[in-house]
Each structure stands twice: as structure tokens, then as C-alpha cells.
Amino acid sequence: MEHQKVNGRKQTAEKILKDLSLLEKASLLSQIVWETTEIHHMHGELDKFLLADGPAGIRRLKEYFDKDIYNTKPSTCYPSPGTYASSWNRELLFELGQHMGREARQEEVDTVLAPAVNIKRNPLGGRNFEYYSEDPYLTGELATEFIKGIQREGIGACLKHFAANNQETRRMNICAEIDEETLHEVYLTAFEKPVREGCPRMVMAAYNQVNGEYCASNPMLFGILRKKWGYEGVVVTDCYAAHDLEKGLRHGLTLQMPGESGARIGERVLELVNAGQITEAELDAAVLRNIEMALEAKANRVQGYEYDREKHHAFARRIAEESMVLLKNDGRLLPLKKEEHILVTGELAVNPRFQGGGSSHVNPWKLEIPLEELKKLGTHVGYLQGYRIGGSRAENEMLHQEVLDAAGGYDKIVVFAGIPELIESEGYDRSSIQLPQEQNDLITMLTEQGQRVAVVLANGSVIEMPWREQVPAILESYLGGEAGGSAAAAILFGKVNPSGKLAETFPICLEDNPSHLYFPGNTSTVVYGEGRFVGYKYYDALHKPVAFPFGHGLSYTEFEYQKADTLVDKERLQVRLMLRNSGSQEGKETVQVYVQRKVHQESIYPKKLAGFKKVCLKPGEEQEICIPLDARTFMHYRTDCQEWNMGNGTYEFLVGSSMQDIRLEERVIIGEVPYQISEDSTIGDMIRVPGMYEKLEEAFKNHPVSLEFLRMTRDEDPLKAISMGSLMTLRTLKRTDGTLLDSDIEEIVRWINGQNN
């Protein structure tokens, strides 16, 4: 039935396209602020379709041409993407998409500009709160479910920002210089599954350049997005990011947001077509996609629809509860007991930080205050301000002293701390990852006084915690949305068992981050010099200590991991284990599987997340867990043939509660996968593959110089072996060995690849 609808819309779109003049076609390439052009034609009226921001809720302007981006209609403010990614819950993300889709329908929004799947490359990234993770696999898994959920409701999703939009500094002109291997394995992988399986109605091209080409006119739009991944939908620019309409149309761009007026763009398109710089067929391909989207939007509209605001608020609370991360709980300081005397301190307890700044900003229809929610659950909850954000040193010292003087009369102190919204926003990057000094001072003084302190953090992304060793309990609430107050209170008092896991690594200090020396680049270029060793992959490879590792998150209960008959099922590519809740409270655990390829027992490839599953178990309950593994995790992108390849070698499977808390492990040799060579393959790389030395020896038997270079790789002198043998490529041998012709090299490549199949 759905296939018939799609075919019907396509046929209607083709009829409409045939009736349009060149100027009318051109007008459909340009968006007017938040809506597209509507056209009257012989088949009826082609409606405009409406867009709105929406990573954390529907940001529908009261007036669509209002320049004040904060003058929006009230809607549910959900936790930020950087928060709900810590839920590690695919089903929850699908439900979130559905809830946001219903709200979009009420506001007559056809497409929501979300999700944003750019990688958290550096902790200073101004929009890190809007991005999911430092890991592309986790990002792709969660974003795919969000897209499926929102589009199940008939509302389009817009996947953004394609690609490598990992900083705000000079974002409109900066050129990200990324090697092909890293680009594919890290930054494009986050987009691939959402495109292939989520099938978003729109993909947004980023502001920045990648390797010398602006994203809105980058050959990647056609070569990767459309050709390799098969994307058929609309490709839209970020705001005012259409730098080269001609190149953009040729590479797959279909819509400028917002664009030029109909008359102006019409003149430009006429000039381009008449000059032969674009063909009318290229123009038609872009316009047809926009028409199809307009028809689909109209078909899915429901007049007079209203969603249940209270139910959506309750769902926002559930997301926050599942996403907050208990980083530390020494001596089981938490949960708090109802009868305990609790002192709450910190301005953020009464003036909460619950969302990020910029285009994701939502006007919440209802906002919970953490202190009020805590007082509902505890019988003896007091409050002192403790600090004032932006206050003078003298004022904050006075507020500190009030807390220190009163603290002795309480059983426990709960400090609400975090980053002010002004520091974390779209449009600029952070200058540090430190909390304001008045907050650090207050926490430090309380611990030095011997108080039992729990810190509740409100921040969009990574922060430094110089007091982390002294504080017994830390709850990372991130940006919890409008219902974050009751969610934090429920976790603090044990009404909800925390189950969030970090989707990013918390380094000890900013300087430890792998991209620190490269970020944010110079006036025109930022080099991604850390390569594919982003986030936990870097810290693990260097055995570098961190404050809190990727995947970390504590619970009020305990979980035991045991092997099933076989941990790794090679045939089905899955991991099987027994998981038992050995504690006294129902809880959720996210079982994580990491894979690392070993070559000659050396770990030259980073450890990678390959699968995960969130499971809820009652006390004493045991369950067999099967976790399908992502086949792409076993592959590496080969630049010589521009394809993904599963290398030979032993694979180490590591199963645990975080990247560092590994409970089970097993080494497995995955079935041999054909190793493909090219003219640019080195002898050193090739002979690492079992049996390849003998094949090359056979291939070179009539070429003595090449044979000698091959044999040098086994020379006892390591310097000679490396410099004279291992580094030689087939292409280099052709220039060195007078007996080798182009046809000989081509035949050798064909013969060896045929042997390997």
C-alpha cells in the first residue's frame, strides 16, 4: 500500500513538473525563511511545506517571518540530544520521535530539522549538547530510531549537518582537512545508517568545507550520499549556505534555505541553463524531489490535531530519568532517605539549566524546579543559594560562608552545579571545560570541611571536575529538559534507579583530548590530525587515564555477567551471555560489546563499539542476552580501492558495563575474507596476509628485481627489510623493474585478487 502511494505521488509530481515553466521550476529551488514556494498549476495547487527546528522539541515561531528566534510557541522541551543519547535506548528514541512528530502535526510543521549527528570531536564544541556522541556507531543507531519514530507519524526528519560540522568557530567558511580513512570511518559512518535505514525526507548540507569544497556543493553529495548510499530525498542547505548553485545542483542539492527570491533565482537558473552550465535534466531532478516532498507533506497533514501536553511532559520526564548518569556513589551516599536532613545549595537548584542555546532553544510550556521537586520527596530539605552566577567575588564568598556555617546541621549536602547557558550555545565554541570558579570553590570547601556531598551537574557536554576524588557522589543530569527537576529528584531519593551511560569520555583535563592541538584550526583550515582515534579510541590506545570512561554509569543494584555456551556466534555475528541482577532493586543495564582487530598480536586498529543492548531485570532475575553485532565494525576503509574491507587477523571481543569495565572476553578468528590488492598496495602490507608472500613469489618469478625486493622483506637487517622491501608498492616496482609492464601489473593484481576470492 505504501509503495503504491509513493508511486502515485511520483507520477503526480512528474505531471506537475511537465507543466511548469523554467522560472516556476527555479522558484521551487528556494525556500522563503521557513517555508517553500507554493505554485498554482493545471493539476491544482502545489502547497508549500513548513519546517521547524527540533532536536529537543518543536521550535515553531509564532510568526514564520519573525527574526526573533526565541519568539516561539510553547511546546514540550525534551532533554537535549547529548542527554538522551546517554539513555543508550533505541526504543526510547523511537518513542521520542513519535512524540515530537505529534507535536509537529499540531503546529502544522511538515519537517523537523533533526537529528544532528555530528561527532563530538572536541569538548569545546559549542553545539556538543545538540550532538549524540563521540562514537559514530552509537550515534547512527540512536538517530536511525529517532528518524523512524518521527516519520511514523507522517512528519519528515531532516538529518544534519552533512558533514564534519564539528565546531562553531568560523563554521561558515572553515575547511575541515580530513584523510579519507578517517572521514569514512568516523564522520560519515554516523550518517550512513540513518540515511540507508532511517530514510529521512531531508538531509541538510553543512556550512563548512570538507577537503576544499563547501558541503552544499561538495562531490560527496552525489558520490557518497546519492550514489553509494542510494539517497533519493531532498538535500537542503543550512541557512544561507548555498555558495555555488551550479555545482550544488550537479552534485545533488535540491533546496536553498532560505534562498533568493523567485525572480532572482529564476534569472540565475535561466543563465545557467542557457550557458550550458547545468542541464534542464539536472534542474528537473532537483525540482522533482522538492515536488514529491511537498505532495507527501500535504498527504500526511491532519487538521485540528491536538496532543496531550501532560502525557508528553511525563514522557519528557521518563527520558530524563533514563538518561541521567550516576558517575560516582562511594559509600552508597545515594539514594537519599526521606527522613534525612538534606541541605540543597546552588543557584541552579532554583533557576535550572535545562537546555542549550541557539536554534534548538524551546519555549517550555511547563518547567519543573529541582528544589521544589526534592521537597516533595524529602521531609527535611533546606536551601541556601551558595553562589550567584555572574556575582562578584565578595558576594560569592559571603554565600559560600553561609553554606559552610549551616552545613554541620545536615546529614548530607546536595550541590547543584553546572555551565550557564550563555557559555554553551550555537554560534561559538566554549573557551574552557571548567565550571565557574565560584562553584568549584564551594564544592571544594564543603569536602575539606568533611561534609557528605553529592554534586548534581547540569551541562551540555564534558566538564573538568578537580574535586571528583573528594566528592562521594556525582550525578550527571546533563540538560534534562522541562521535566529534569523531578527526574533528578526521583533518582536522588531512589524512586528511580539510574541507568544512563556516558556517550562521551570525560577526560581529566582539556589538554588530554586527542584533537586539542588542532582545534579549532587557523583562520581558514582545521586539520583533523588525530585521525580515527577520536574519543575513547585514543585514550584506550595510549592507556591514558580519564576521569570517567565512555559507556560508564552506575546503578543502585549490581549485575553479574556470565558466558553462555559460546560468547561469540561467528555464523550469526552475535554475542550471547547470561546477565543477572544480583542486587536488591530492579534496574536497567546496558551491555556493551567492543571489538578490536589484532594483526600479528599488535593492536594497530582502535577498539570500537560493535553492539549494545539495554535490559531491565528484577532482583535475582537472570536472562540470556543476544546482541547482534554491526558487521561494519569489523571493516576498515581502504583508500587504495575506496571500499570497506574486512581484514584478516584475530578479533578480540570485549563485553562489559563500560569501555573500561570489561567482564567477559574472547578471541576469535573470523572466517577469511578476500583481501583485495591494488597498484598502490605495499609489499609490507600484502605479506602480512597469510599465504600472500608465496603468491607474490609466484607472480614475480619472471621479474628478478621485483623478486629481490620481495625477499628483502625477510632480511635479517630490519632497516634494510623495511626501507628496501616493505615500503615498495606495485606501482613503484613497475618503475624500478624494467621487466614489469603496465599489463604485467594489471595481470598480477587480477591473478592475486582472483586467488584470494
State the catalytic residues.
Answer: 238
Cβ(373)–Cβ(479) below 8 Å:
no
* Residue that has been written with the C-alpha cell 630490519 in this structure: 718
Residues 6+ positions from 370 with CB-CB distance below 8 Å: 344, 348, 349, 350, 352, 416, 456, 484, 485, 488, 489
Cβ-based burial of 411 (10 A; exposed 0-12, middle 13-18, buried ≥19): middle
β-pairing, 341-345 vs 380-384, is parallel
Give dist(CA 561, CA 662) in Å, integer. Answer: 10
| Alpha carbon 689 to its chain's center | 34
Dihedral sign from CA coordinates of 54, 59, 60, 65: negative
Backbone angles phi, psi at 672, to 5 degrees: -55, 130
Instruction: Give the DSSP letter string of 367-417.
Output: ---HHHHHHHH-SEEEEE----TT--HHHHHHHHHHHHHHHTTSSEEEEEE
Residues 6+ positions from 448 with CB-CB distance below 8 Å: 470
Give dist(CA 145, CA 33) in Å, integer. Answer: 28
* Residue that has been written with the C-alpha cell 549524540 in this structure: 132
Residues 6+ positions from 291 with CB-CB distance below 8 Å: 13, 16, 17, 28, 46
Cβ(473)–Cβ(304) below 8 Å:
no
**Residue ranges in 430-528 assigned as alpha helix (H):** 437-448, 484-492
Please list the residues that pair with 236 across neighbouring strands.
204, 255
Give dist(CA 581, CA 620) in Å, integer. Answer: 5
Cβ(141)–Cβ(84) below 8 Å:
no
Dihedral sign from CA coordinates of 351, 353, 356, 361: negative
Give dist(CA 634, CA 140) in Å, integer. Answer: 16
Dihedral sign from CA coordinates of 600, 603, 608, 611: positive
Cβ(158)–Cβ(147) below 8 Å:
no
Cβ(210)–Cβ(219) below 8 Å:
no
Spatial strand order in the sheet of 559-569: 559-569, 574-581, 622-628
SS3 of 248, please? helix
Cell of 39: 505554485
